[in-house]
Amino acid sequence: MKTNSDIDNRIIKLKTKLVEKKLDAALISSDVNVFYFSGFTGDSTEILITETANYLFTDFRYTEQVEKEAIGFTIIETKGLDRFSAIDEAAKRHGVKRLGIEKESVTLNFFERCGRELSCADYKDISFDISLLRSVKSPNELALMTQAADISDRVFEALMQKVKPGVTETELNAEMTYLFNLAGCGLSFTPIIASGENSALPHAPMTNRKLQNGDFLTIDFGCTYNQYCTDCTRTIGIGGLAKEQEKVYDIVKFAQEEAFFAVKPGVLCGDLDALARGIISDAGYAECFGHGLGHGVGLDIHEFPRVGMGDKTVLEPGMVITIEPGIYLKNRFGVRIEDMCRVTENGAESFNCIDKTLKII
């Protein structure tokens, strides 16, 4: 029978966690975690993982797709509102009394229906446990993310051919979306394409502003490839730049590179943030870096771990995080530089190959 070793290993680890928490089964309902544990890429589906069996509940729309993608699952096709009764029947078959659920992902309606329509006596949130499992990527996951990042890098370099004074932020967004779609990818998030004074907004809304000489242009972008996300940011200059702009760019670049070089197993995420923040503060811009240094990336664009002030998460080999310090001067300009990196036994390896030397077009 065809198997997926990654998924098999994930289920084994989840079952081990269930034993530790004295739970009889896990009910997985978020689309992203259904994919993580089964390989099914659709939606409107739940999976029940017990000590001895794995069930997937779906409807007629996805039955054929599930049979191809979710290997090793007992597939139960449900109709209309009988989904919970089917889950309850399977849970009772295995004597499930204590059930792990994704409290952070389910709606209030779903949670209340669990209490009304399932016979389990007790529920426990396993959202964080799943986040921990997902935070350490397998070699296969890292390979997919490497391919995704290669596509992102190529799209960015192609986009640079369109950057010039007079082009609008929205025109660049349309071109980037087209290039990613042409490469067979979707967007992992709505790109941030911010020029001039807009670049001072960390999450600037896109506008029809035209690029002008003297602008900084910040482009924060990413794609999804085989379900996995990328995230990268570059800031470039349009025409001639003022000396302070170049100074700020160099400070951010130095902070970004120093934090990157400090990444290794055993390091606290909060210490990375403190290192970059200290560099920016010592340069006189302490109040101009208001967000965290980075975040985990994988099936979601933002996932565990958080790389921010005081975070006590210890880095492990296989984790994927971003390093993205910034300086933002209100109503003037901003600079952010971001790479996505994997934690290795010896340090960090960047997924991105785009040069960070200040580019002026």
Q: Per-residue confidence of the chain (361 residues) as pLDDT tens digits?
A: 345 789 999 999 999 999 999 999 999 999 999 999 999 999 989 999 999 999 999 999 999 999 999 989 999 998 865 888 999 999 999 999 999 999 888 888 888 888 888 888 788 999 999 999 999 999 999 999 999 999 999 999 999 999 999 999 999 999 999 999 999 999 999 999 999 999 999 999 999 999 999 999 999 999 999 999 999 999 999 998 999 999 999 999 999 999 999 999 999 999 999 999 999 999 999 999 999 999 999 999 999 999 999 999 999 999 999 999 999 999 999 999 999 999 999 999 999 999 999 999 9
Token pair for residue 304? 């565990």
Residue 128 and residue 155 in one domain: no
In this predicted structure, what is the pLDDT of residue 79?
Answer: 80
Task: Detail the DSSP E strand segments found in 89-135.
Answer: 98-101, 122-125
Q: Does 125 reside within a domain?
A: yes
Among candidate residues 105, 134, 163, the one where a domain is terminated:
134
- Whole-structure pTM value: 0.94
Sign of the dihedral through C-alpha 171, 144, 324, 259: negative
In this predicted structure, what is the pLDDT of residue 118?
Answer: 86
Residue 129 and residue 66 in one domain: yes
| 27 phi/psi in degrees, rounded to 5 | -105, 110
Residue 119 and residue 211 in one domain: no
Q: Does 61 reside within a domain?
A: yes
Residue 194 and residue 251 in one domain: yes
Q: How far apart are CA 288 and CA 196, in angstroms?
A: 16
Place of tokens 């680890």: 13
Residue 295 and residue 251 in one domain: yes
Residue 126 and residue 158 in one domain: no
Residue 104 and residue 206 in one domain: no
Among candidate residues 84, 109, 134, the one where a domain is terminated:
134
Among candidate residues 110, 134, 158, the one where a domain is terminated:
134
Per the structure, the count of domains in the chain is 2
Residue 194 and residue 237 in one domain: yes
- CA distances 114 to 3, 42, 91, Å, are 31, 22, 12
| 207 phi/psi in degrees, rounded to 5 | -130, 180
Single-letter amino acid, residue 299: L
| 197 phi/psi in degrees, rounded to 5 | -65, -25
Q: How far apart are CA 299 and CA 32, in angstroms?
A: 7
Residue 148 and residue 284 in one domain: yes
Q: Does 355 reside within a domain?
A: no
Closest CA to 285 of 320, 242, 249: 249
Q: Does 311 reside within a domain?
A: yes
- CA distances 53 to 15, 98, 102, 130, 286, Å, are 11, 16, 19, 19, 54
Q: Does 147 reside within a domain?
A: yes
Residue 198 and residue 327 in one domain: yes
Domain membership of residue 44 as a residue range: 5-134
Q: How far apart are CA 57 and CA 75, in angstroms?
A: 6
Residue 129 and residue 171 in one domain: no
Q: How far apart are CA 284 and CA 247, in angstroms?
A: 11
The reply to whether omega before 139 is within 30° of 0 (cis) is no
- The CATH number that applies at residue 39 is 3.40.350.10
Residue 21 and residue 91 in one domain: yes
Task: Detail the DSSP E strand segments found in the chain.
Answer: 25-28, 46-50, 54-58, 74-77, 98-101, 122-125, 186-187, 192-195, 216-221, 223-225, 228-229, 232-237, 294-296, 303-307, 320-323, 326-329, 333-336, 339-344, 347-350
- The CATH number that applies at residue 304 is 3.90.230.10
